[in-house]
Amino acid sequence: MISQEKPKLAIIGTVGLPAKYGGFESLVEQLVIHLAEHYDMTVYCSGKFYPKEERIPEWKGAKLKYIPLNANGFQSIPYDMISIIHAAFRADILLILGVSGCILLPFVKFFTRKRCFVNIDGIEWKRNKWKNIIKTFLRYSEIQAVEVSEVVVTDNEVIKKYLKATYDYDSYLIEYGGDQAFPVEIKAEDIEQYDFLQGKYAFSVCRIEPENHIHVLTDAMSRQTELPLVIVGNWNNSEYGRQLRQQYSSFTHIHLLDPIYEKGALNLLRSNCYLYLHGHSAGGTNPSLVEAMNLELPILAFDVGYNRETTEDEAMYFSDAQGLLHIISDMTAERAAKIAQNMKAIATRRYTWEVIARKYDNMMR
């Protein structure tokens, strides 16, 4: 019997593997775990994020290719473009996560005829962090993704409706899994490190950006002292984060922690919280949200369509500090438990990696 050669699949647009950063990285990690036996996979990684001594040639069957640029911020555009050019000469299928480099897709299709699939993430060009010239570029890249790629993937029904209304385009809806998050039991040495583990506390993990409404979370929680607040994030990466950390440094019940990349340590803090606060307002289905849902946490989410769609209107929603404070003050243990049960039921039905990986496989085949 002649064995069939595996299709060569390049995954572009993330920080890389092993996953240490965010949602797209977790997605790639799980695609490799579930699909590496079916594809000859190459994952493009940021050489700026992985120092030379940490670089490995492959991870769980996927080859790793390092590009000497940052995968986020302004450098994400040349990072993605270089990755696309490199992959166009070596892969059969390009799975591109984000639109930063999609301005090149017409050339890739014309000269190579390679099959390109694009997950556009959120509506990237509308994000407040981008200046006008970058917004224009990202909008044009989004148009190229819609017009040229084999299939555009959206991760939330709200974004799917946006593409339909804006471009009359029917995208392929694939959300995120969150069942890689696992509960961790508190030990005595954990309490020595984090004394707030002794009682109830509210928790959030995210990038420290204005669109994630960290200022709303800290403002609300600073007005009360009964429930400690714990936020894990990259405080030192922006003036916004540095100012917030300085502003609330004197509040003993507010704990603003540096990024935690070790999964067990992160799951220890979030799986044992009393309330999970989700301030995201952009980006579609947020991976941190579906992870919290899989952990059966009671979720208080910022009131936007993305979050309501993800949680099927079964969470609690706030739009400002006063609203969040009101929800917390009225919360009972029974109400929190009911929300948590509903979140877990939705996550089990919609947000598991076996389901998500199968959808990607079916799409690419």
User: Percentage of the chain with pLDDT > 70?
Assistant: 97
pTM for this model (two decimals): 0.87
Amino acid at 303: D
Tens of pLDDT along 243-278? 999 999 999 999 999 999 888 999 999 999 999 999
- Biggest alpha carbon–alpha carbon distance for the chain: 71
Task: Examine the domain organization and report whether 346 and 311 are in the same domain.
Answer: yes
**Whether pLDDT at 4 is above 80:** no
Last residue of a domain, one of 174, 208, 225: 174
Residues 6+ apart with CB under 8 A from 150: 115, 116, 117
Q: With CA atoms as reference, report the closest residue to 150 among 182, 121, 116, 175.
A: 116
Beta strands in 246-288 (DSSP E): 254-257, 275-278
Both 133 and 212 in one domain: the answer is no
Last residue of a domain, one of 105, 140, 174: 174
Domain boundary among 174, 201, 221: 174
Boundaries of domain holding 277? 188-350
- Residue 249 near residue 257, CB atoms below 8 Å: no
Which residues is 277 bridged to in the sheet?
A: 300
| Ramachandran quadrant class, 329 (left: phi over 0; alpha: psi -120 to 50; beta: rest) | alpha
- Kindly state whether residues 144 and 209 are assigned to the same domain: no
Is residue 238 domain-shared with residue 305, that is, in the same domain?
yes
CATH number at residue 299: 3.40.50.2000
Q: Averaged over 311-321, what is the pLDDT?
A: 98
Counting Cα atoms < 13 Å in the Cβ hemisphere of 111 gives: 9
Predicted local confidence at residue 160, as pLDDT: 94
Asked if residue 317 is part of any domain, the answer here is: yes
pLDDT (tens digit per residue) in 289-299 = 999 999 999 99
In a domain, 361, yes or no: no
* CA atoms of 199 and 81, how far apart (whole Å): 48
Report pLDDT for 21.
Answer: 65
Q: How many domains does one find in the chain?
A: 2
Query: Encoding tokens for residue 102?
Result: 């999609």
pLDDT 10s digits, 162-219: 999 999 999 999 999 999 999 999 999 999 999 999 999 999 999 999 999 999 999 9
